Amino acid sequence: MYDFSADSADCAGALEAALSEYLTGNGLSGPGPAADRLIEAMRHGSLAGGKRLRPLLVRQAAAIFSVPRERALPAGLAVEMVHCYSLVHDDLPAMDDDNVRRGRPTVHRAYDEATAILAGDALLTHAFAVLARPDCHPDPAVRVALVAELAAGAGAGGMVGGQMRDIEGESTRFSEIEIATMQAMKTGALIRASVRMGALLGGADPRALSALTAYAEAAGRAFQLADDILDVTASPETMGKATGKDAEAGKQTLVSRYGLDEARRLLDRIVGEALSALRTFGPRADGLRATARYFASREK
Ligand code: GRG
């Protein structure tokens, strides 16, 4: 039987080790050596802490096609590096202006703003270098497909574009569809890319890829809705109110629009959608099933 706790802990451990090994002077050198301060800031922004859910999704989607977990690690590493870069940049004064991330000072607090910008840039850039390496997949066509998938998820039509819409929403009232679109891009696009990259590693046919895309889109919505619910319920000051840190910062969420009870009902429905998208897959999709359920029940 699939054990979510064991698999997610194993994935997080493997990811942390691979990331730590990659983020050394040797791994990062180009025509010249990477500056120590830059390497330290990249390590600060990506190692220690983090649930490593996106690499887990890559691994779980790949498992449907019997891809061994270690073969899914480089693609998972690339997605996690993009995720960590987005958090480093999201914390900057020009964005959310946060002082703490994963229980530690944010990169611009521990170093300085310019270093945090550059550390995020370098994490993003090297993510694609990881995908280009032959150990990511022996077939260069698959590696190219992985690069295109991650770029689409991370770029202007995905995460970065969603962040732009989120910023625009601070001065415009969004419709519910606009909130959902912004969230599908900002948070959902990288979750979608993670699942699809696992499917690409496994050589999924178009039908399987489309079913897994439907799963990923629902899972991404569930993840964001749970995040918005936690924003309200996990903080003692806002407990029971439909205003958490994000809502107070002017961010529009489905919780601030519907209220907590309706948001919780919606979350259950979305998790149901994610699970039904997996109905043609057998027990090998139990990992993805467990993650969708975890998204709805997580406490951090
Ligand atoms: C700045 C280009 C750019 C993009 C920022 C991802 C993002 C877009 C902003 C993060 C803000 C945020 C808290 C969004 C809510 C959803 C989310 C991505 C939460 C953090 O992801 P987790 O819970 O984090 O997987 P860990 O720390 O476990 O990796």
Give domain limits for the chain: 4-297
Residue 249 confidence (pLDDT): 66
pLDDT higher than threshold 50 for residue 141: yes
Q: How confident is the model at residue 244 (pLDDT cuts 50, 70, 90)?
A: low
Q: Side chain identity at 159, as an amino acid letter?
A: M
Residues with CB under 6 A from ligand 1: 50-51, 53, 83, 86-87, 89-90, 95, 102, 159-160, 163, 186-187, 224, 227
Q: Quick one: average pLDDT of 117-129?
A: 98
Alpha-carbon gap, residue 174 to 179, rounded angstroms: 6
Q: How confident is the model at residue 245 (pLDDT cuts 50, 70, 90)?
A: low
Residue 28 confidence (pLDDT): 87
pLDDT, greater one: 173 or 287: 287
Q: How confident is the model at residue 114 (pLDDT cuts 50, 70, 90)?
A: very high
Residue 238 confidence (pLDDT): 47
Instruction: Tell me, yes or no, if the pTM score tops 0.90.
Output: yes
Q: Quick one: average pLDDT of 175-187?
A: 94
pLDDT, greater one: 256 or 102: 102
A 10 A CB-CB count for 99 gives: 11
Mutate to test the pocket of ligand 1, among 108, 186, 190, 295 (most ligand atoms within 8 A of CB): 186
- Asked which of 18-32, 53-67, 189-203, 207-221 is least confident by mean pLDDT, the reply is 18-32
pLDDT, greater one: 29 or 241: 29
Residue 236 confidence (pLDDT): 54
Is residue 267 within 8 Å of 222, Cβ to Cβ?
yes
Alpha-carbon gap, residue 180 to 137, rounded angstroms: 34
Cα(223) to ligand 1 centroid in Å equals: 11
Q: Quick one: average pLDDT of 116-135?
A: 97
Q: How confident is the model at residue 246 (pLDDT cuts 50, 70, 90)?
A: low
Q: How confident is the model at residue 242 (pLDDT cuts 50, 70, 90)?
A: very low
CATH assignment, 4-297: 1.10.600.10
Q: Quick one: average pLDDT of 8-21?
A: 97
3-state class (DSSP) for residue 220:
helix
Q: How confident is the model at residue 299 (pLDDT cuts 50, 70, 90)?
A: confident
Cα(26) to ligand 1 centroid in Å equals: 28
pLDDT higher than threshold 90 for residue 248: no
